[in-house]
Amino acid sequence: MKNRRTVLVTGGCGFIGANFIHLLRNKYPDWRVINLDKLTYAGNLKNLQSISEDENYSFIRGDICDAATVNRIFSAEKIDTVIHFAAESHVDRSITGPADFVQTNIVGTFTLLEAARKFWIEGNSQVKEPCFLHVSTDEVYGSLGETGYFTETTPFDPRSPYSASKASSDHLVNAYFHTYGLPVRITNCSNNYGPYQFPEKLIPLVFNNSMKGKSLPVYGDGKNVRDWLYVKDHCQAIVEVVNKGRSGHCYNIGGNNEKQNIEVVNLICDTLDRKLGLPESGEPRRSQITFVKDRLGHDRRYAIDAAKIKEHLGWEPQVSFEQGIEKTVDWYLANQKWVAEIVDGSYEQYYEEMYSK
Ligand code: NAD
Ligand code: TYD
């Protein structure tokens, strides 16, 4: 049996998947990585442009709901490890169009589980311990009041079509462990932020709007709380779960960074004022904040108790929120072309140029 893993990463062209693949290339350059991504609006091949020629990396454009494609990849590539990121991930989109969430998040996860079950149970894994790691969210646990934390035993209580679809997929993954003995692990993490995040999510949206002098929409009273996790801390946690986690276990991953949304928006504004000076209006960027109609069913507070992953695997977050925002703002300032191409849609042509010749 070999130690070198052959990893199927799904959704590797998205925000967390791309950060994860970069981390893996640096940490384990001899591991093979096959990135299966449909390139929806959220997938951007440019996120991985710098490693596109790497001999241990390959990209396949495809849908995780397509059983023939997924089965073919398992057999052809002899997959022994799955890191499953691919999903529809934006709560607001799940409110206006839930169908894609049911399809990709539930049917897609089922399709991957079936492929892994068939391939691994027939004894085809090349490593002693194959691993199916399902990346999920703290949103499956519902909404907290002023106090308390989500632990791995908090009952599921999803409230948006997004979180309901993720909770369904978590249940399916657990069922494959108990029924078929599939070696699965689940991670439930809090809100990520950092490089490559699509500018529909709060932090990059606020960055982009404030750079353009546009209003900064804060839903409701701005006092909803999220526990912010720097994406590179999250990716490191996933590596620990692959290497040291136990099959059938779920691990909560949080940043110990609870913030109200208004605090987050204020900090981004202040950071930009400090780095760039005041905008032409002469007003601090905070003056662009506009309180808008609240999101339907807006969960009030998420907060993770990450004691289990610390005790079992020795992982804890390294980056404070202030450090993480500093790094993130610097990244977005240095990569304004990346944001501009997303906003004007030209990033979508990159695949055609690169792969359709
Ligand atoms: P993202 O929206 O940035 O990226 C999703 C990726 O999946 C894209 O590259 C997209 O093209 C791909 N994809 C979508 N549907 C597909 C399909 N049917 N087949 C193949 N590829 C498909 O998402 P993200 O923020 O990187 O999140 C990754 C995972 O982490 C998701 O499962 C999400 O639920 C989970 N998660 C994210 C956060 C967060 O704060 N971003 C927090 C908790 C959990
Ligand atoms: P988001 O980044 O969409 O992540 P999630 O809904 O998965 O937590 O939103 C983070 C928080 O910011 C959430 O409480 C909703 C709020 N929000 C705004 O106030 N304004 C915005 O424009 C967006 C996109 C989000």
Look up the CATH number of the domain holding residue 32.
3.40.50.720
Q: Are strands 131-137 and 192-193 parallel, antiparallel or unpaired?
A: unpaired
From the candidates 37, 63, 138, 233, give the one annotated as an active-site residue.
138
On whether residue 277 sits in a domain, the answer given is no
- 22 assigned to some structural domain: yes
Q: How far apart are CA 325 and CA 198, in angstroms?
A: 16
Looking at the CA of 265, which ligand is closest? 2
Max CA-CA distance within the chain? 67
Domain of 104, in residue numbers: 6-192+229-255+303-309
Nearest atom (ligand 2) to Cα of 298? 14
Which of 28, 57, 149, 162 is catalytic? The answer is 162
193 CA distance to ligand 1 centroid (A)?
A: 13
Q: Identify the residues whose C-beta falls under 6 Å from ligand 2.
A: 91, 191, 201-202, 205, 217-219, 224, 226, 261, 295
Number of structural domains, the chain?
Answer: 1
How far, in Å, is the centroid of ligand 2 from the Cα of 39? Answer: 23
For residue 277, count CB atoms less than 10 angstroms from its CB and return exposed for 0-12, middle for 13-18, buried for 19 or more. exposed
Residue 63 domain-assigned (yes or no): yes
Q: Give the residue whose CA is nearest to atom 8 of ligand 2.
A: 191
CB atoms within 10 A of CB 221: 11
Residue 12 domain flag? yes
DSSP state of 168: H
User: Domain for residue 137, yes or no?
Assistant: yes
The pLDDT tens digits of the residues spanning 98-120 come to 999 999 999 999 999 999 999 99
| pLDDT tens track for 31-48 | 999 999 999 999 999 999
Question: Is 162 annotated as catalytic?
Answer: yes
Q: Round to whole Å and give the CA distance between 133 and 355.
A: 29
**345/5: higher pLDDT:** 5
For 25, the token pair is 């290339």
345 assigned to some structural domain: no
Does 70 map to a domain?
yes
What's the pLDDT tens digit per position in 149-191?
A: 999 999 999 999 999 999 999 999 999 999 999 999 999 999 9
List strand residue ranges (DSSP E) for the chain, in order.
6-10, 32-37, 57-61, 81-84, 131-137, 184-189, 192-193, 216-219, 225-227, 229-230, 249-253, 258-260, 289-292
Q: Distance between CA 235 and CA 142 in Å, rounded? A: 24
Residue 16 near residue 198 (C-beta atoms within 8 A): no
* CA 349 – CA 119 distance, rounded (Å): 35
Active site residue 152: no
Give catalytic status of residue 54 as yes or no: no
Whether residue 141 is contained in a domain is answered as: yes
pLDDT digits (tens, 9 = 90+) for 266-288: 999 999 999 999 999 999 999 99
